[in-house]
Amino acid sequence: MTTTPTAPSPTRSLLDAVRAGVRVVDLGRRLTVGMPQSPNHPPYWHALPRRHGDMVRVDGGSAANDMISMGTHVGTHVDALAHVSQDGRLYGGLEVADALEGGRYAELGAHTIAPMVRPGVLLDVPSALGVGRLEPGYEITVADLERTLELQGSTIVPGDVVLVRSGWGQHFDSGAKELFIGHDSGVPGVGAAGAQWLVDHGIHATGADTIAYECLPPGAGHATLPAHRVLLVENGVYIVETMDLEELAADRIHAFVFVLSPLPFFGATGSPVRPLAVVEDE
Amino acid sequence: MTTTPTAPSPTRSLLDAVRAGVRVVDLGRRLTVGMPQSPNHPPYWHALPRRHGDMVRVDGGSAANDMISMGTHVGTHVDALAHVSQDGRLYGGLEVADALEGGRYAELGAHTIAPMVRPGVLLDVPSALGVGRLEPGYEITVADLERTLELQGSTIVPGDVVLVRSGWGQHFDSGAKELFIGHDSGVPGVGAAGAQWLVDHGIHATGADTIAYECLPPGAGHATLPAHRVLLVENGVYIVETMDLEELAADRIHAFVFVLSPLPFFGATGSPVRPLAVVEDE
Amino acid sequence: MTTTPTAPSPTRSLLDAVRAGVRVVDLGRRLTVGMPQSPNHPPYWHALPRRHGDMVRVDGGSAANDMISMGTHVGTHVDALAHVSQDGRLYGGLEVADALEGGRYAELGAHTIAPMVRPGVLLDVPSALGVGRLEPGYEITVADLERTLELQGSTIVPGDVVLVRSGWGQHFDSGAKELFIGHDSGVPGVGAAGAQWLVDHGIHATGADTIAYECLPPGAGHATLPAHRVLLVENGVYIVETMDLEELAADRIHAFVFVLSPLPFFGATGSPVRPLAVVEDE
Amino acid sequence: MTTTPTAPSPTRSLLDAVRAGVRVVDLGRRLTVGMPQSPNHPPYWHALPRRHGDMVRVDGGSAANDMISMGTHVGTHVDALAHVSQDGRLYGGLEVADALEGGRYAELGAHTIAPMVRPGVLLDVPSALGVGRLEPGYEITVADLERTLELQGSTIVPGDVVLVRSGWGQHFDSGAKELFIGHDSGVPGVGAAGAQWLVDHGIHATGADTIAYECLPPGAGHATLPAHRVLLVENGVYIVETMDLEELAADRIHAFVFVLSPLPFFGATGSPVRPLAVVEDE
Q: What is the ipTM of this complex?
A: 0.95
Highest-scoring range by mean pLDDT, B29-33, C184-188, C215-219 = B29-33
Residue D278, classed as helix, strand or coil, is strand
Confidence of residue A88 (pLDDT cuts 50, 70, 90): very high
Nearest chain D Cα distance for residue C132, angstroms = 11
Whether residue B1 is predicted with pLDDT greater than 50 in this model: the reply is no
Name, in order, each residue with C-beta under 8 angstroms of A98's C-beta and a sequence gap of 6 or more.
A107
Nearest chain A Cα distance for residue C55, angstroms = 6
If you ran DSSP here, which 8-state letter would residue A247 be given?
H
Whether residue A224 is predicted with pLDDT greater than 90 in this model: the reply is no
Residue D53 forms part of a structural domain = no
Confidence of residue C282 (pLDDT cuts 50, 70, 90): confident
Residue A207: predicted pLDDT: 98
Give the chains touching B; criterion: ≥3 Cβ pairs < 8 Å. Answer: A, C, D
Residue D12: predicted pLDDT: 52
Mean pLDDT (whole number) for C183-212: 97
Give the chains touching C; criterion: ≥3 Cβ pairs < 8 Å. Answer: A, B, D
Mean pLDDT, chain A, whole residue set: 94
Chain B residues close to C46, C-beta within 8 Å: 49
Cα distance between residue A64 and residue B176, in whole Å:
28
Q: State pLDDT tens for residues C20-59.
A: 999 999 999 999 999 999 999 999 999 999 999 999 999 9
Q: State pLDDT tens for residues A5-36.
A: 554 444 457 898 999 999 999 999 999 999 99
Chain D residues close to A49, C-beta within 8 Å: 33, 45-48
Name, in order, each residue with C-beta under 8 angstroms of C143's C-beta and a sequence gap of 6 or more.
none
CB atoms within 10 A of CB C178: 11
Question: Would you call D255 and C96 a contact, using CB atoms and an 8 Å cutoff?
Answer: no
**Phi then psi for B169, rounded to 5 degrees?**
-60, -15
Q: Of residues D3 and C198, which shows the higher confidence score?
A: C198
Name, in order, each residue with C-beta under 8 angstroms of B107's C-beta and a sequence gap of 6 or more.
B82, B90, B94, B98, B99, B101
Question: Would you call A49 and D49 a contact, using CB atoms and an 8 Å cutoff?
Answer: no
Q: Report residues of chain D scoring pLDDT below 70.
A: 1-12
Confidence of residue A37 (pLDDT cuts 50, 70, 90): very high
Whether residue C219 is predicted with pLDDT greater than 90 in this model: the reply is no
Lowest mean pLDDT of B133-147, C163-177, C257-271, D209-223, name the range. D209-223
Q: Which residues of B240-268 are buried (b: 16+ CB within 10 A; e: fewer)?
A: bbbbbbeebbeeebbbbbbbbbbbbbbbb
Give the Å distances, CA to CA, from D126 to D130, D132, D145, D213: 6, 6, 10, 15
Question: Would you call C49 and B69 a contact, using CB atoms and an 8 Å cutoff?
Answer: no
Residue B206 forms part of a structural domain = yes
Q: Of residues C183 and D202, which shows the higher confidence score?
A: D202
Q: Which of C2, C3, C4, C241 to mutate to test the interface with D (most CBs of D within 10 A)?
A: C4
Question: Would you call A270 and B66 a contact, using CB atoms and an 8 Å cutoff?
Answer: yes
Confidence of residue C281 (pLDDT cuts 50, 70, 90): confident
Question: Would you call A30 and B264 a contact, using CB atoms and an 8 Å cutoff?
Answer: yes
Residue D10: predicted pLDDT: 45
C-beta separation of C73 from C41 below 8 A? yes
Mean pLDDT (whole number) for A199-218: 97
Domain of A251 in residue numbering reads as 10-48+66-277
Lowest mean pLDDT of A217-226, B168-177, D137-146, D231-240, name the range. A217-226
Give the chains touching A; criterion: ≥3 Cβ pairs < 8 Å. Answer: B, C, D
Whether residue B272 is predicted with pLDDT greater than 90 in this model: the reply is yes
Mean pLDDT (whole number) for B134-153: 98
Chain A residues close to B64, C-beta within 8 Å: 82-85, 105, 269
Nearest chain B Cα distance for residue C69, angstroms = 8
Model-level pTM greater than 0.90?
Answer: yes
Give the chains touching D; criterion: ≥3 Cβ pairs < 8 Å. Answer: A, B, C
Q: State pLDDT tens for residues B67-109.
A: 999 999 999 999 999 999 999 999 999 999 999 999 999 999 9
Residue D83: predicted pLDDT: 98
Q: Which of B67, B68, B100, B269 to mutate to test the interface with C (most CBs of C within 10 A)?
A: B67
Q: State pLDDT tens for residues B178-237.
A: 999 998 889 999 999 999 999 999 999 999 999 999 999 998 777 789 999 999 999 999
Chain D residues close to B39, C-beta within 8 Å: 34
For chain A, give the percent of residues with pLDDT over 90. Answer: 88
Residue D201, classed as helix, strand or coil, is coil
Residue A231: predicted pLDDT: 98
Cα distance between residue D128 and residue C2, in whole Å:
6
Q: State pLDDT tens for residues C128-158.
A: 999 999 999 999 999 999 999 999 999 999 9
Q: State pLDDT tens for residues C51-110.
A: 999 999 999 999 999 999 999 999 999 999 999 999 999 999 999 999 999 999 999 999
Nearest Cα to Cα of residue A270 among A113, A163, A122, A145: A113
Q: Of residues B245 and A223, which shows the higher confidence score?
A: B245
Question: Would you call A49 and D69 a contact, using CB atoms and an 8 Å cutoff?
Answer: no
Chain A residues close to D45, C-beta within 8 Å: 49, 67
Name the residue of chain C whose CA is nearest to B103's CA: C103
Total tally of structural domains belonging to chain B: 1
Report, in angstroms and rounded to the nearest whole number, the Rg of chain C calculated over CA atoms. Answer: 21
Residue D229 forms part of a structural domain = yes
Residue B12: predicted pLDDT: 52
Residue B282 forms part of a structural domain = no
Positive/negative CA dihedral, C178, C180, C181, C182: positive
Largest CA-CA distance found in chain C, in angstroms, rounded: 70
Nearest chain A Cα distance for residue B252, angstroms = 6
Residue C54 forms part of a structural domain = no
Lowest mean pLDDT of B12-26, B192-206, C242-256, name the range. B12-26
Name, in order, each residue with C-beta under 8 angstroms of A175's C-beta and a sequence gap of 6 or more.
none
Whether residue A3 is predicted with pLDDT greater than 70 in this model: the reply is no
Q: What is the CATH number of the domain that holds A130?
A: 3.50.30.50
Q: Which residues pair with D139 in a beta bridge?
A: D189
Name the residue of chain D whose CA is nearest to B97's CA: D54
Chain B residues close to D66, C-beta within 8 Å: none
Residue B1 forms part of a structural domain = no
Chain D residues close to C52, C-beta within 8 Å: 85, 88, 90, 96, 99
Question: Would you call C42 and A45 a contact, using CB atoms and an 8 Å cutoff?
Answer: yes
Name the residue of chain B whose CA is nearest to D46's CA: B42
Cα distance between residue B133 and residue B126, in whole Å:
5
Torsion of CA C76, C78, C82, C85, to 10 degrees: 80
Name the residue of chain B whose CA is nearest to D62's CA: B102
Nearest chain A Cα distance for residue B50, angstroms = 10
Candidate from A45, A47, A69 with C-beta closest to D48: A47
Nearest Cα to Cα of residue D140 among D220, D238, D215: D215
For chain C, give the percent of residues with pLDDT over 90. Answer: 88
A/B interface, count of CB pairs below 8 Å:
371
Q: State pLDDT tens for residues A112-152.
A: 999 999 999 999 999 999 999 999 999 999 999 999 999 99
